[in-house]
A and B are shown apart, each in its own frame.
Chain A
Amino acid sequence: ETGVTQSPTHLIKTRGQQVTLRCSSQSGHNTVSWYQQALGQGPQFIFQYYREEENGRGNFPPRFSGLQFPNYSSELNVNALELDDSALYLCASTFQGAYYYGYTFGSGTRLTVV
């Protein structure tokens, strides 16, 4: 098992720009979720992808969008960046099947918007 890999680890962007964050899910996993974690708070659910389709969304505006690819890797895109988008972005994967094994989280991408 290689775990969940996220890239880049750190990123600095200017307000108004667009950003793409990447996630390679754990081998054998078919579901990916994205979370935003502000400093000192618990992660907040952005959305989930299952078999390349969005399978649930949290309270985030449409400028947060995503993709899941046939190999189950995923991207999170954020348009028109705002200062409040500065946070740790976490990707988590799992296998949705007959039994729940828990989500494996990556170490995150730290995004700073200036």
Chain B
Amino acid sequence: DAKTTQPNSMESNEEEPVHLPCNHSTISGTDYIHWYRQLPSQGPEYVIHGLTSNVNNRMASLAIAEDRKSSTLILHRATLRDAAVYYCIPDNYGQNFVFGPGTRLSVLP
């Protein structure tokens, strides 16, 4: 399993963009990069995933480094509802996610 390194915590102001980094230098060539987030008192929620190219969906954008050893989750305009723990997970088919401690994002009004 690829090891990941994420900041323990980050802060953002409401309506500003947030860039959440993740290092996954031991990622294998077939691993996708999955991002999930966990709001207080809830189970994790799928955010986005990608392999090599940058990806966009209605929730966020995922920027993947050319060497795939790092990625950045981008929330374009943070809202209070985005306050959560964000997990970056390199994995092949998502059969056995290894969740690290993640990044706790605080959003200030």
Contacts and interface: CB of A to CB of B under 8 A. Distances in A.
Contacts of A104: 46
Given A100-B49, A100-B93, A104-B46, A43 B99 contact: yes
Contacts of B98: 45
A90 B41 CA distance: 12
B101 A41 contact: yes
Given A42-B102, A43-B99, A100-B32, A94 B43 contact: no
Interface of B: 32, 34, 36, 41-46, 49, 85, 87, 93-102
Nearest to B32: A100
Contacts of A94: 94
Contact of A42 (B41, B45, B96, B101): B101
B91 to A, nearest CB: 10
A97 B43 CA distance: 23
A42 B100 contact: yes
Interface in A18-54: 33, 35, 41-45, 48
Contact of A43 (B32, B42, B97): B97
A4 B43 CA distance: 10
A48 B101 contact: no
Interface in A92-114: 92, 94, 96, 100-108
